[in-house]
Each structure stands twice: as C-alpha cells, then as structure tokens.
Structure 1
Amino acid sequence: MEFSFDALRRWPDIEAPNLYAFDATDRLVLDTAAQEIADAGEGGVVAIGDRYGALSLGAATLHSASGIRVHQDALSQERAIVANADRFDLSDRIALHALDADLVRDARVVLLQLPRSLDALDEIARLIAGYAAPGVRVFAGGRVKHMTPAMNEVLSASFASVEAGLARQKSRVITASAPRPAGSHTDSSWPRSQRHADLDLTVWAHGAAFAGTRIDVGTRFLLDYLESVPETAHRIVDLGCGSGVLATAFAIQRPDAAVTATDQSAAATASACLTADANGVGERVAVVRDDGMSAVPDRSVDAVLLNPPFHIGASVHAGIALKLFAEAARVLKPGGTLLSVWNSHLHYRGHLERLVGRTHQLGRNSKFTVTMSRRSE
C-alpha cells in the first residue's frame, strides 16, 4: 500500500470523526527538516512524540530515511505506529525505543511533536543535548494556539540556538541546535521527587507523567474515600495510575491487598514504580504498562480505583473515560467496586450506571464528584 497521510489510522487508539491521525504540524516539520533528513544517513533520524507515525513514516517515504528511532509515550499510539508501518510495508524502516540515551545517541536530526507539558519538553531536551551528535538539529513542531514563549525558554536551557519559524496552516516549527554542555543546568535532572508531608507520601515523576510530582486535585479528593473500598477487597487495580499515588496510598492503608497500577504512559509507569518504592510498598504494587487492562482477566478484580482523563490530546472527549469504565466493568468480579472521581460537569453517573452497575455518590465539592459503582451480578 502506498503511503499517504490521509490513509494513516489512529487504531487501536480511539477513533472518531473529530479525531485525526495527523495534522498540519507533521507536514510542516517534515518540510522544514527535509534536507537534514535526507542527509542524516542510516540511523541518523529520531522521531519523538510521533503520535501515529506521520513523522517517522513520512520521513521514510518522502525523504528516504532509514533506521529511524521512534519514541511514543502512549502505548495505544505506539501500537498505532506499528499498525500503520505494517499497513504501508515500512516496518523495517523504524525501531521503537524507550525515552533513554539509546533513543537519541549520536542522532543528527530529531523530529519532535511538542508536548503540552513543559516538564516533558525539558526531559526530552536534556536527553537530546546530552547524547545526540554535537551537530544535532531538533525540529519541534506544534499548533500555534498551544505554543508558548516558555517552550522556547525550556529549549534554550539545553540548546544555545533556538529559532522559531514562520507559521503555516496554524502550525509552527522551532529549530534548536548547538547543545549546551551537560551540567550547565542549575536545577535537578529527571526524574524528580516531592515530599507531601500532609499525606506522608513522596511522589516521583518523569516529565511526561500527569501532574508531575504534584498530586492533582481530583486524586487528592479521591484519597479521602479509599477507606470506602470494602475490607473484603483484596485484588485492587489503580487504572490510569499516573505517578502511582492512589496505588501507593492504598497499599499503605491495606497491607493485605494485592495492588496493580496500570497506565498506557511509559513515563507514568516508570514514575509509579519509583513512587511505590520510595514509600516502602514497591514489593506489593505491581506496575504494568497496558492499554486499559488488556492483561487482566475478566471478572478477576475486587476493586478498581480510577481518576479518568477527559482530554484526548488537546480535544475534550469522553471516549477515554467511557473506555476505562467499560474495562473496569469487564475485570470486576460480580459485586466488585469501582471507586471513581470525575469533573462534575461531565455528568458521568448515567454512563457508570449503564456500563458498570448501580452507582451512588460518596462526595462532591465545587469541581469534582466521587462515586462508588457496584458491578452488576
């Protein structure tokens, strides 16, 4: 099958009429970096944040790049890249990598979809500056409405030259080069930690982990209701665990529980492992990178803890939450419990009743609602 941007699919990630597998940013990055990609040689090109393969597969077909190293934090998007590469018979042109030194070692060109998180951008920039070739050029693209001057400042901490290009179709590319020497940063490297004395918890996080070392307000609200999980519940899953706060706190409260923390984000699962270890429950919290709970058998779990996201990329979309509710229903034993927190304006209770079972409200504040759903028999 001949490569075409229009033929890229999001599957197995969520697909909907208003969700796309590529945008104008992908095209602009590839056009801006065209000559550098062509000159990079075997293994010289790296694509980071390549959501569904537009950057890596576009570089392979439009500019004859090969040995392209690719990192995508989200597992569903990583799987979509593999599926698209298979469909276009380009699997031999790319290789998936973790966000580590081997991803960028001696790279000459880095194609980057700018992350929304400045911390995620900082971790990526430091890694490139520390391990890529001295002459590396980074082409970081984004939608203009989501770009801020702070992104230039973050890149400038790792690169001596940072230049913003002209906007095209509401997208823009920032080109960074001349890596600064390692150790030139004044603050600590990644991952980082923060002690929350009020909760007696230490949270570790990589740059792309949701909320970082902070504890987001929804999770903090849900922590007040962990004791609502029945004492008879012994197998627990923290679904979409982020930095592992819920899983760790529950394991501390219930020493007899077997807790699994699962998230599709590589940064989140790495962070959750560190958080559990830092709080002395690393041996009792199993951390798994998974899309939903595909590795968990049906009707095998006593309780699920969930603070679902309500964004898909930059779009507000209920698709992920509904997918996670359905997954919780699948893995819960009859009579099992889903303890969830969600933004009150999203009115998820009807969905929970339909997908999981009888649902009642445990708590509500100005922004969030906590509910307990009981799996239908």
Structure 2
Amino acid sequence: MPEFSFDDLRRFPDVEAPNLFAVDASDRLILDEAADALSSAAPGEVVVIGDRYGALTLGAAGLHGATRIRVQQDALTGERALARNADRTQLAGTFESMAFDASLVEGATVVLMQLPRTLAALDQAAALIARHAHPSVVVFAGGRIKHLSISMNEVLAKHFSELRVSLARQKSRVLVASRPIEGAHEDTMRSEFHDDLQLWVAAQGTAFAGTKLDIGTRFLLSFIPQMQVHPDVAIDLGCGTGVLAAEIARARPEARVIASDQSSSAVASARETMRLNGLEGRVDVVRDDALRSQPDASAGLILCNPPFHVGAAVHADAALGLFRDASRVLRSGGELWTVFNSSLSHATTLRKIVGPTDVVGQNTKFTVTRSTKR
C-alpha cells in the first residue's frame, strides 16, 4: 500500500477553487488527538461522522490502519468525493457509508467527527453515540476555533461525564468526550407546527433552518399564486425540510411534486414533513446531486432557495450547478422561481443559464425572480 498523503485528496465532484480545500487543520488535529485510540481500536470499532471529503476516514485508514470504518456524511457530494479519494489513495474497501441511525455507532469505541454548525445537530449526534456506542467510546470532535462555542461543550456534557478540550493548533481545537451518561435522551427528529401556514415542519439536527421557516423560503411562498397554474411536474430543488414542496403540493394538487436535496438529513426531514402533513403520496422525496437523476425537459415548474455557502465560505458557485440542472430539466416555457440574497448577481446568471428572468419581488434582504426556459 502506498504512503498516504493528504495532498492527494480532492473536493470533486463538489465545487473546486483555489481558496477551497479538501482537508484543513482541524482534520489533521482530530487524527493526531485520536492517534492512540485509533491504534488500539479493533476492526469495525471506528466511526466517522461529518467527514467532508474523506480526510478523517482515509487518514484513519492510511495513517493508523483502521479498517471497516463506519462513515456518515450528510452531503451526497461528500460521499462521492470520499469514494473517489479512496480509489485515488488505494484505500477503497476500508470503510462503509451508512445512514444516521443506531447501526452507525453500535459498539463503536472511537468516533471522529467534524463539529456540525448547529447545536441541534451536535445534540442529536452526541445522544446517538451515548446511547448506542460501547461504554468505553471516546469522541474526538473538532473544528476551526472561529466556529466553536462554549455551548458545544455544554451540549456534549449533557451526554458524556468527561470532557477535555485540546490545545489550539493552527486555529483549530478538538473536544474529547468520554464516559457516556446512561439514559441519555435521543431525539433524531423534531417537529413544529406553524399556525400561519397550518403546516408541520420536521427536521433532523443538520437540516437547514431546523423546524423554523427560513425567511427566504417564507418570502418565496408568498408568490405561489403567481406561479404556473397547471404544471405536470413541480420540483422543490434543494428542498431542505420540504416546506416549498409541501406548499406547492397543496396549491397544485394535480401536479406530480418532487422534493430533491443532496443532504441525507434534509431528505429524512422532508419525508417526515410530508408524513406529518398527510402528503406522503403526493410528494416524492429524493436524495440527488442537484437534479442529476431527473430527465431533460421533464418539469414545468421548479422552485429554488439556493445556498450561498460552500462549507463555511461564501462562494457564488454554490448555486450554479443547481441553476444549470434546473435549466436542463425545465421544458420549454417552464418556470424557475428563485429566491436569493439581494446582494448576489443571480438574476444576471439566471438570464444566461435559463432564459428571460424577471424580478418579481424584492424586500430589504431578498429578491425573487421568475426565469422562463427558452
């Protein structure tokens, strides 16, 4: 087996740019802090949660000999990047990608994780580990210092009786948690009823906006009466918790509605949102990289509240792949309705990629556009 090097890792098929990287100092620090634990772990006892492009998984395998690693990544692009990087480093077969459930962590003695951006996501991961991992499990959860907070320590302390904070290195730290607390509460899905919409919203911890209603989505919802009246197929692209899909399904009962997202947490959340609102048979929720699985010229209406971050970095390319796929999937005369931060130049981009684009609404923060496929 060749010597492992982080330099061999790439982000592809996710966005690649000179200022975007497949590995950072927090990945390296997590692996260094866990080195002794990894060296003594038996096959199948190592779990990786939130690996972005494979640095933690392949580092554990290539540098410390871990095998049968169980891996959970929220983003489909992350799973594909890991698979490609494993082939590139000749470490394919050292891991298995799994869902976020008890089987992911059952019997684990070492858990490596990138700290999620929300406390709810951390709470759900910590609860799952504390309840189902081996009692001797040690969790090495790291991140860049600018994204860490004391509240993260408090969340971990709910589920583990011992917590150590590593020394800082290259603006990164690792929280090391051990000795799970028996009877730790496990809640992998939450829900909230919104009276103004008469709608249940369900969310796993990593789902964008949680059970709340994102203000951009709320703004776009107000334009549903102006959208195409009789679409045969309507798609909520980057559906998150599925709010747009649920509302378009209720407003256009004759349409086939598809909710699509690359996030496994979003897909699970959207499916539960549909179930709670009695829409399981009306909305098909799929995990997809943009609209890769949808045929050309197959939809009459697409709604999109695109991301403007790639990881923690603001990056214009975060939405371009969604716009290109929307253009491909829209049939002639079909409509793409998009909401985005008014500081972004998406309207110009949409005119180039999709077709004629009108600004149909604007408030102090957001712009809503309608693009018609040529």
TM-score (norm 1): 0.97
* TM-fit CA distance, 1:115: 0.8
Provide the aligned length of Structure 1 versus Structure 2.
373
The 10-residue stretch of structure 1 (297-306 or 227-236) with the greater mean CA deviation from structure 2: 227-236
Task: Give CA-to-partner distance per residue, 1:230-281, whole Å, 9 cap, x none.
Answer: 1131201100000000000110111101000000000000000110111111
SS of the equivalent of 1:60 reads helix
* TM-fit CA distance, 1:2: 4.1
Question: What is residue 207 of structure 2 aligned with on the other side?
Answer: 209
Taking the aligned partners of 1:9 and 1:228, their CA distance within structure 2 comes to 43
Task: Give CA-to-partner distance per residue, 1:22-41, whole Å, 9 cap, x none.
Answer: 00111111111101001011
Question: What is residue 58 of structure 2 aligned with on the other side?
Answer: 57
Taking the aligned partners of 1:65 and 1:277, their CA distance within structure 2 comes to 39
Question: What is residue 293 of structure 1 aligned with on the other side?
Answer: 291
Task: Give CA-to-partner distance per residue, 1:272-309, whole Å, 9 cap, x none.
Answer: 01101111111010000000000001111101100001
Taking the aligned partners of 1:60 and 1:113, their CA distance within structure 2 comes to 17
- RMSD over aligned CA atoms reads 1.0
Structure 2 counterpart of 1:26, one-letter code: D
Runs of 4+, deviation exceeding 6 Å: none
Structure 2 counterpart of 1:130, one-letter code: R
Kindly report which structure 2 residues correspond to 1:154-169, keeping only aligned pairs within 5 A, or say none.
Answer: 154-169=155-170
Question: What is residue 191 of structure 1 aligned with on the other side?
Answer: 189
Task: Give CA-to-partner distance per residue, 1:164-195, whole Å, 9 cap, x none.
Answer: 1100011100000011112x44xx72201000
Gaps of 5+ in 1: none
TM-score (norm 2): 0.98
Structure 2 counterpart of 1:282, one-letter code: E
Q: State percent identity of aligned pairs.
A: 54
SS of the equivalent of 1:58 reads helix
Task: Give CA-to-partner distance per residue, 1:181-227, whole Å, 9 cap, x none.
Answer: 12x44xx7220100000111010110011000001100000000112
Taking the aligned partners of 2:301 and 2:4, their CA distance within structure 1 comes to 44
Q: 261, 268, 271: which is aligned to 1:270?
A: 268
Structure 1 counterpart of 2:372, one-letter code: R
Kindly report which structure 2 residues correspond to 1:94-173, keeping only aligned pairs within 5 A, or say none.
Answer: 94-173=95-174
SS of the equivalent of 1:345 reads coil
Question: What is residue 218 of structure 2 aligned with on the other side?
Answer: 220
* TM-fit CA distance, 1:311: 0.5
Taking the aligned partners of 2:259 and 2:252, their CA distance within structure 1 comes to 15
Taking the aligned partners of 2:305 and 2:93, their CA distance within structure 1 comes to 38
Gaps of 5+ in 2: none
Structure 1 counterpart of 2:63, one-letter code: L
Taking the aligned partners of 1:181 and 1:311, their CA distance within structure 2 comes to 38
Structure 1 counterpart of 2:80, one-letter code: R
Question: What is residue 306 of structure 2 aligned with on the other side?
Answer: 308
Taking the aligned partners of 1:49 and 1:3, their CA distance within structure 2 comes to 21
Question: What is residue 45 of structure 1 aligned with on the other side?
Answer: 46
